[in-house]
Every structure is written in C-alpha cells, then in structure tokens.
Amino acid sequence: MLKAILLYLSRQKGIQDFMLNFGVTRKVVNRFVSGERMEDGLVAVKKVNSEGAIATLDHLGEETSEPEEAKAAAGVYLNALDLINENQADTNVSVKPTQVGLKIDKKLCEENFARIIERAKEYNNFVRMDMEGSDCTQDTLDVFYSLREKYDNFGIVIQTYLYRSEKDVEDILKAGGRIRLCKGAYKEPKEIAFQRKQEVDDNFVKLMKRMLKSGIYHGIATHDENIIKKTKDFAGENNIPRESFEFQLLYGIRTELQHQLVREGYKVRIYIPFGMQWYPYFMRRLAERPANLFFFLKNFLRA
C-alpha cells in the first residue's frame, strides 16, 4: 500500500513543484542524486572510480512534450559524452526514451538516440536505453531493434516484474543485445505484471541465469543480497568469469555493499543521476525500500 501511494505521488505535478522548491527536501535528496549540474555528476563519477567502481551517468528528466525540448535533452548527453572523454572518467550514459521524444514521435526518439550513440561510438563509449512504464515498453523495444541494426555500442533495460520480460530477454539475446536486468520501479496492473515480491524475484533469478549463460556482457541491477548471492553462486557453478558481467547499483544506496563487491573482485557500476528534475526519481527510490523513506523522514523532522 505504501509503495503504491509513493508511486502515485511521483506522478503528481503539484506536489513535484512544491518539493522541487522546498529546501529541506533538496538537502535529503543529495544522498540519492549527485547534484543539479553535469559537473556534479562527473565529480561523483570520479569518486566512485577512485573506489574501484565504474559508473553510468543519467540526466534526470522524462516525458518531453516538444521536439525542440527532446532535441535539447539529447544535446545534454552529447555534451556529457564530450566531458566524460575530456576528463577520462570511467562511465557510460543512460537515457530515458521519453526524455528524447518517444511520446512525441518514435522516429524523433530514434534520431536523437542515434546522435547520442554516434557520439559515444567516437569515444569508444556505450549508451544504455532505460526502460520506463509499461505504456512505453513496446515502443522502446521498437526503437532499440531499429537502432540495433546499425549500432552495437548500446543496450537496453528489462524489468522482471512484467510477464512479457522472459520473451523480451530471449528476443534481445537473439539480436546480440546487452541487457541491464532490474526488478522495475513503476506501478503496474496485475494483468501485465507480477504483484508479489517473491514472483518478481523468482523471475529475476530465472532471467539472470539465461543472460549469464548467453556469453554476452550484461548488467545485474539489484541491491537484493539474496539475488546477488544467487548470481554469484550460479556464475561460480557454471564457470562464468567475473569479468563477463557486472553488478549495477544506485548512487547513495547500500554503499557498503558496493565496496564489498569491489573487494571481492566483481565489476560494479554505479548509476549516478544529476539534474533539476529529480522528484520522480527520488519518489521511486523511496517506494523501493522502507529504509530510504525512514532516512528521508528522520532528516525532514530534524530540519
């Protein structure tokens, strides 16, 4: 119930406008968001690099409504890739399809992604196509497959709470695509998505095993220590080298776990967001873990 309420609030524009301008909230948000400027994101990247991890940089924002706005969002990523190269930062970028025009026009979204992927290719870098709500899933995959015919330096995200994800994983593997596997952070109806945590977890483990045996480099994105252990065990039992996949974790969450995985010799990538439009992302992080909400309330009451 609490998760559903928080996910509902993440879509409320009036509350978003209030929170974006409320100083106390912004101080707490700094735990989960590296800052409002691209330079803040790069500082965070360099820090995690110094701790033995790699990163993916995400400019917060979604659902642009005008073509020029979508084009400008793509421009932010072009600039980010330039700065990543100049600063020799070990990070790629993650891009939300609706941020670069998916809900305006699929062709526009594809063109903007192509610009970003081309720039990344110049620098021998990589682009991750994020996955959003289920209303965008098929359109996102359509754009992915179209671009996959031209580029191989980009991948996609699959969410294990959707029933369709097993088939999607099989299709992406056949196309040689790289996958970031996560549970999913949106509220979805029972007609299309598992509602019980155990079902989502079981599907995650099933798809993780299929991905690791594919011989393609993938990202296992979770803070769930039980799933992390099962991933380690499966890789060990099947002689899958640690360098053939990576664990992905969110900035500011379970940093002790991040450090532990690095010490154990696993490749670890930290998802580092930056930008002004942090509210929806922040609310989804509160919905994912009660500990995050407790942290927010404790600091809110201290203010």
Per the residue annotation, which of 119, 128, 178, 180 is the catalytic one? 180
AA identity, residue 123? Y
User: Hey, CA dihedral for 208, 210, 213, 218, is it positive or negative?
Assistant: negative
Q: Which residues have a Cβ under 8 Å from the Cβ of 299 and sit 6 or more positions away?
A: 24, 27, 28
Which residue's entry shows tokens 């994800």? 165
Rounded to 10 degrees, the C-alpha dihedral 149/154/157/163 comes to: 20
CA angle 22, 133, 116 (to 5 degrees): 85
The verdict on whether 180 is a catalytic residue reads yes
Question: Taking the CB of residue 249, how many other CB atoms lie within 10 A of it?
Answer: 23
From 47, 14, 60, select the one nearest 281 (Cα to Cα).
60
The verdict on whether 130 is a catalytic residue reads yes
Rounded to 10 degrees, the C-alpha dihedral 264/268/274/278 comes to: -80
Per the residue annotation, which of 58, 130, 168, 201 is the catalytic one? 130
- Cα separation of 243 and 277, whole Å? 34
Q: Are strands 54-59 and 91-95 parallel, antiparallel or unpaired?
A: parallel
Catalytic residues: 130, 180
